[in-house]
Structure 1
Amino acid sequence: MRRGAPWAIGAALVVVAGVAVALTPPDIALTQAFSIRGGAGDAATGRTLTAQVRDAAFAERVSTGDWEADGNWIVVTVAASAPQTEVDAAVIIAALEVGDRTFHASERMRDSLLGAGLRVGTDTVGMLAFELPSDVDAGDADLRLITSYSTPQLDDVVVLPLSLDDLPSEAEIEIVAPEWEGS
């Protein structure tokens, strides 16, 4: 029995080392952004942004003033505000994650919520349009809202869930300019 003890202890140490390596987060986790998740229909508040999905729908065409485009679109209406300061308060990047695919909000329309100034204590309600491939029409998605151009490091990202299965489909949606709620 004494001859097998070192082998058993060595095997146990190898297993413990393997578990430690498996549980150690990757280096990127040291500077990765924190996801602030909201519930379906609930607002989520991060350090630089408070946001809530008000409405969402598929559209075969989106338009704004003198511009229009056909395709498979999801238009999401979002109410957003700045929780602490209005300095640089705006949704700069909006991404829709569907499974392992990421789609960014279209910047082709001038009346999008992207870049619209946000106020403390007053919601700015605006629309974000995502052009999707024709095969994306169901499943669960996450709307990720970021308030700076650079990749957030050790900061938060507001994440709002969407169920694509429940969304209505419309022939055309007109993207309207963001407005302060109550104005």
Structure 2
Amino acid sequence: MNRAARLALHWAAAAALVAAAWGLHAITPPGMIAAEPFRVDARIGEPAEGRNLRVTVNGVHAASKVTEPERGWYAEGRWVVVEFEAEATESEREAYLSVMRLRIGDRTYRASERPGLGFGPPARLSVGLPRQISAAFELPENAGGIAELGIAYGAIGDERADSLVVMPIDLDALEVQPEVELAPPGWAE
């Protein structure tokens, strides 16, 4: 076999392997991909950076009432409000906050998307322009202990993530305020 034939055979084999990998990826059920994302630990006031995501948690509050004065909206109950800034770091393509959750034991609570709330997922991210976000989580009255905040980005409707910004929150240590005003969504200062 001459050199040109061997080279053509190698290229054909490589193309077949690429096609097989693409086909395998296309038929793999979503639950089989990226079962556990890479965890990035966060602390209040310090930036935490995952792949194409930088998050800075600025505050965590517990309240018995949340309000959004611009719309005249409020809700009473047991609320945890997380104020943070988020931005894409590399690309704006499919850069949405698709996951904002609070996990307490084996229960997961998503950021509220009630009508009138300033922000709920998905939130579009930009490179170099952090967004100011208030995520409000409505919890049962008896919720306590250590909760885990989780924030990740991805395509709309796809909660798989290769990195997840996480921060523990001691719910029992939070002083319950009578009212917390949600910051309007916008660009961070």
Equivalent runs, 1:12-31 vs 2, <5 Å? 31=34
Match of 1:23 in 2: none
Return closer, same or farther for 1:39/1:164 CA change in 2, 3 Å cut-off: same
Match of 1:151 in 2: 159
- Cα offset for 1:90? 2.5
Match of 2:137 in 1: 130
- Cα offset for 1:45? 1.3
With the length of structure 1 as denominator, give the TM-score of the two structures. 0.74
Equivalent residue for 2:40, pick from 31, 37, 42: 37
Cα deviation, 1:67-92, whole Å, max 9, x if unaligned, reads 22110000110111111112332312
- Cα offset for 1:60? 0.6
Letter in 2 for 1:91: L
Q: How many residues align?
A: 153
Match of 2:94 in 1: 88
Structure 1 stretch 66-75 or stretch 35-44: which is displaced more? 35-44
Cα deviation, 1:11-54, whole Å, max 9, x if unaligned, reads xxxxxxxxxxxxxxxxx786313232224323321113211211
2:42, 2:165 within 8 Å by CA — same for their partners in 1? no
Residue identity (%): 32
* 1:60 paired to 2:64: yes
Match of 1:142 in 2: 148
Inter-partner Cα distance in structure 2 for 1:160 and 1:94? 12
Match of 2:173 in 1: 166
Unaligned runs of 5+ in 1: 1-27
Letter in 2 for 1:176: A
Root-mean-square deviation (CA), in Å?
2.1
Cα deviation, 1:89-145, whole Å, max 9, x if unaligned, reads 231221101122111110013411533332222321210000000001x32111111
Inter-partner Cα distance in structure 2 for 1:79 and 1:126? 6
Equivalent runs, 1:72-111 vs 2, <5 Å? 72-108=78-114, 109-111=116-118
